[in-house]
């Protein structure tokens, strides 16, 4: 645990940030239990004293007032503790969610490469909730219980060191020994259940995304088996968990019973020498019972730590893997001042990986130029785009705008500099109008319609039941691949940014649709600076320069005509791309 929290950046900072409110919550929690104990203690004394039929009501007047006071203040303090604890947790979790989405936003260009869909679902759906529960169900109960126990032992030590030692022994069993046993026994089962649940996430998302292929193959039974194969194991493990918890809770209640019997024995020896002292026998015995509420949750709180630990580790790794440069001073350079973007001797590898994806790569793209980056799959083309975008920071070298401004200095204003069209643009379940307007939320309906006309979608959209107000359905299933690309391109036109990055936008399209989309790209982006990553050469004859990347190194570069004329390998690649025999 110490190792996990040593470099933690998701829990400790917020414990410090809201430490005043946190201290208030702990104080209110302890006072609540003190009032509960005080209520039962004075009630026991009042019952014993009243049973002796005092000749004057004034003899029990003070205990009555104290009992009423504890009875009033206990729910008041409990209410204040709940209000402030939830206020504290909401403050923290709002910060955590904002930070999570900001962290993921920086890596949005390559989330699909960094995470499995199920992993990402776990991060978004579980991890922040786990941290919220860590505070509410682990940190709060543990601290309040230990503080309450320490205070009681000190007070009892003043009354009787023998009784204090007995209570210290029982407190230790409930607050230390049993919780540690719970962690040891239940930690493994919780880990196992979490692994099964995580695997179920992956199986479910994988099977659901491929449900079309399952249906085509007629393997309905296989689909159900794939998505439910862990259910039996999870059910059996959950049953064992419940059985262990029942046994553990029974032992805890048994110890509380021993505590009550021990208190009776001690009071029989220590408080029966006089009638006045005997009035406190019931007080001490009844005062034990509120400890159940304070101490019983401790074992469950500690045993759930392994479940929360994985979330803490995963979120900290997410921060560690964020390779953007957070402390580069931001520039106020306007996109209208753009002249060029350049990579200077850039080498890159991911943290913890010694393999360089890019090695000493240099290139320069002037304003208005069109550059294509080609090469086989897995050679670092998309990584190069991420570096140009500022989503990754070079291991060595630099990426600059106008030769002097680090691209990392544009991160706060990146959406005004770069537009990106990737392989699978996402369409949200809303109208065509709103999907296109994502590019510029201030765009008018007329401007949206003009952008749709520029990308060749006007007639099709007008033919829809409600025109631009037609719902595109979830993930844009109403539209073909080429149409989704054109809608995404319309977004880019509304953005009107100086630099457009194309990450293989024609992948998966049929040849006719691909050719039409390429012509549209050439037409609507003719005044933009375009950097186009692709794996084949169709439509690249209008590029100002072509860069061939292989094994992380630029193997050839130049304009299409000179490369075709002077480079035999480029001619070979062109022939292969067109399906023609190659002649040297």
Q: What share of the chain is helix, strand, coil (3-state, %, to 5)?
A: 65, 10, 25
Q: Give residue 325's pLDDT band: very low, low, confident or very high (50, 70, 90).
A: very low
pLDDT reading at 190 higher than 60 = yes
Alpha carbons 124 and 127: distance in angstroms, whole number? 6
Q: With bands split at pLDDT 50, 70 and 90, how would you rate the model's confidence at 5? A: low
Domains and CATH numbers, the chain: 1-322 (1.20.1560.10), 333-417+499-509+526-579 (3.40.50.300), 424-496 (3.40.50.300)
CA dist 4 → 100, 312, 322, 327, 329 (Å): 19, 8, 18, 25, 31
State if pTM tops 0.75: no
Query: What's the pLDDT tens digit per position in 423-482?
Result: 778 888 888 899 889 888 888 889 989 998 988 888 888 888 888 898 887 666 778 888
Lowest mean pLDDT of 15-29, 67-81, 110-124, 322-336, name the range: 110-124
- Provide the 3-class DSSP secondary structure of residue 7: coil
Structure confidence at residue 323 (pLDDT) = 46
Residue 400 near residue 341, CB atoms below 8 Å? yes
> 444: buried, middle or exposed (CB in 10 Å: 19+, 13-18, 0-12)?
exposed
**Does the pLDDT value for residue 324 go beyond 60?**
no
State which of 240-254, 309-323, 366-380, 554-568 shows the largest mean pLDDT: 240-254
- What is the C-alpha to C-alpha distance for residues 391 and 290, in angstroms, rounded to an integer? 55
User: Measuring CA to CA, which residue among 576, 150, 504, 96 is closest to residue 319?
Assistant: 96
Q: Residue 479, class by beta-carbon neighbours within 10 Å (0-12 exposed, 13-18 middle, 19+ buried)? A: buried
Tell me how many degrees the CA angle 99-100-102 measures, rounded to the nearest 5: 65
Q: Which helix (H) or strand (E) holds 105?
A: helix 61-106
pLDDT tens digits for range 267-293:
988 888 887 888 889 999 999 999 998
| Token pair belonging to 11 | 């829990």
**Percent of the chain whose pLDDT exceeds 90:** 20
Would you give the DSSP letter of residue 423? S
pLDDT in tens, 128-142: 777 777 777 888 889
């Amino acid at each position: 645990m110490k190792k996990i929290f040593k470099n933690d950046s998701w829990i400790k900072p917020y414990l410090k940030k809201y430490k005043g409110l946190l201290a208030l919550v702990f104080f209110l929690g302890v006072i609540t239990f003190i009032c509960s104990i005080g209520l039962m203690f004075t009630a026991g004394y009042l019952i014993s004293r009243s049973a002796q039929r005092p000749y004057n009501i004034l003899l029990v007047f003070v205990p009555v007032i104290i009992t009423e006071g504890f009875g009033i203040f206990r729910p008041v303090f409990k209410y204040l503790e709940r209000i402030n604890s939830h206020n504290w947790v909401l403050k923290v979790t709002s910060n955590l969610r904002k930070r999570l989405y900001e962290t993921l936003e920086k890596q949005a260009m390559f989330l699909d490469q960094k995470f499995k869909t199920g992993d990402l679902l776990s991060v978004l759906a579980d991890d922040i909730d786990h941290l919220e529960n860590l505070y509410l169900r682990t940190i709060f109960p543990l601290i309040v219980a230990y503080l309450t126990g320490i205070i009681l032992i000190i007070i009892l030590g003043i009354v009787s060191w023998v009784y204090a030692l007995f209570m210290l022994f029982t407190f230790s069993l409930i607050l230390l020994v049993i919780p540690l046993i719970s962690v040891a026994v239940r930690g493994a089962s919780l880990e196992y259940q979490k692994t099964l649940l995580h695997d179920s996430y992956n199986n479910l998302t994988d099977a659901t995304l491929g449900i079309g292929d399952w249906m085509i193959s007629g393997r309905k039974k296989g689909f159900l088996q794939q998505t439910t194969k862990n259910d039996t194991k999870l059910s059996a493990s959950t049953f064992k968990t419940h059985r262990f918890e029942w046994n553990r809770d029974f032992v805890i209640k048994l110890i509380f019973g021993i505590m009550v019997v021990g208190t009776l024995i001690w009071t029989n020896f220590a408080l029966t020498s006089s009638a006045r002292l005997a009035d406190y026998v019931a007080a001490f015995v009844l005062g034990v019972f509120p400890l159940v509420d304070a101490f019983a949750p401790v074992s469950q709180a500690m045993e759930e730590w392994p479940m929360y630990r994985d979330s803490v580790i995963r979120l900290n790794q997410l921060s560690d893997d964020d390779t953007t440069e957070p402390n580069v001073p931001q520039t106020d350079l306007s996109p209208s001042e753009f002249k060029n973007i350049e990579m200077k001797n850039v080498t890159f590898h991911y943290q913890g990986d010694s393999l360089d994806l890019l090695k000493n790569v240099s290139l320069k793209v002037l304003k208005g130029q069109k550059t294509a980056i080609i090469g086989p799959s897995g050679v670092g083309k998309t990584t190069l785009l991420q570096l140009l975008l500022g989503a990754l920071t070079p291991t060595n070298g630099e990426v600059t705008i106008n030769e002097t401004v680090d691209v990392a200095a544009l991160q706060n204003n990146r959406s005004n500099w770069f537009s990106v069209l990737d392989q699978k643009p996402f369409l949200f379940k809303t109208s065509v109008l709103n999907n296109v307007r994502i590019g510029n939320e201030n765009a008018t309906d007329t401007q949206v319609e003009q952008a749709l006309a520029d990308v060749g979608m006007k007639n099709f959209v007008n033919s829809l039941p409600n025109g631009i107000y037609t719902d595109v359905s979830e993930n844009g299933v109403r539209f073909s691949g080429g149409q989704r690309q054109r809608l995404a391109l319309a977004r880019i036109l509304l953005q009107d940014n100086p630099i457009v990055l194309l990450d293989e936008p024609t992948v998966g399209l049929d040849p006719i649709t691909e050719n039409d989309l390429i012509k549209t790209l050439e037409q609507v982006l003719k005044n933009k600076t375009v950097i186009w990553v692709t794996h084949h050469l169709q439509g690249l004859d209008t590029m100002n320069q072509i860069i061939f990347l292989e094994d992380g190194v630029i193997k050839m570069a130049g304009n299409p005509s000179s490369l075709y004329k002077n480079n035999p390998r480029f001619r070979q690649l062109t022939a292969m791309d067109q399906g023609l025999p190659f002649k040297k």
